[in-house]
Amino acid sequence: MLGRLKPLVAVIVLFAASCAAPGTLIPGIPAPGGGPAPSVSIPSDAADQPTPPADPPEAEFPAPHKIFVAHFTDPLYADQVEEFAPFGSDEGSDTLWYWGTRRAELTTCTTLRWMFEQDDPAAALGDPQSNGPDVDGFIIGTGFALILFTGHIDTEGKDLVLDALQRTYSYYADANPRESAVMVRDLERFPATDCVKP
């Protein structure tokens, strides 16, 4: 899946760069000379914008863990159409479906890294900043799927998802301030738990 999306992302990046005025830095696109991509901060009040109505979840939407239901109350968490919702993008939807078929394997000791290692994108966690928005979509979808199925996320996984959300906002600052802001706000308030085995 990732392999098929990278050429499309490259074309979009090149198109965006060609449309910009000379000297303009585009969020999410590396600066000339190979420097880091400029970052755009998520506005602190973006999460307070009104919640748009969402369609009810489809019948096959998995039953969420009670902790997920209690903490992640915004309709965007069940939205399977909104591109910037955790399960509305192709990456998030595919991740939710994939782990829904393997739900019995997930426990409160499961980590986001372990979930990635079960599939091909494992290498993406080595240096996620160098990957595009498609990889961040998988990181976000995997993190929220872990919470949806188990009611837990590990500390490293939470940090990876928060970083991916910030990068996603930087890529699409004009399109999705609310969804990223809501997910960051809710995830920052959600306590990470790491499994301690005796």
Per-residue pLDDT reduced to its tens digit, 128-170: 666 778 889 999 999 999 999 999 999 999 999 999 999 988 8
Q: What is the pLDDT of residue 195?
A: 84
Assess contact for 79 and 129: CB atoms under 8 A.
Answer: no
Report the percentage of the chain scoring pLDDT > 70.
62
List the domain boundaries for the chain.
Answer: 39-189
Residue matched to tokens 């880091």? 36
Q: pLDDT tier at 60 (50, 70, 90 boundaries)? A: confident
Nearest C-alpha neighbor of 94 from the set 82, 80, 73, 110 = 80
Q: pLDDT tier at 196 (50, 70, 90 boundaries)? A: low
Choose the weakest-confidence range: 27-31, 122-126, 185-189. 27-31
- Higher pLDDT among residues 53 and 66, named by residue: 66
What's phi and psi for 19, nearest 5 deg?
-85, -15
* pLDDT at 185 > cutoff 90: yes
Q: What is the pLDDT of residue 146?
A: 97
Helix (H/G/I), strand (E/B), else coil: 172 = coil
Q: What is the dihedral of CA 88, 93, 95, 98, to 10 degrees?
A: 160
Structure tokens at 91: 């990456």
Per-residue pLDDT reduced to its tens digit, 45-55: 666 666 666 55
Q: CB within 8 A of 60, min separation 6: which ones?
A: none
What's phi and psi for 31, nearest 5 deg?
-70, 155
* Predicted structure pTM score: 0.72
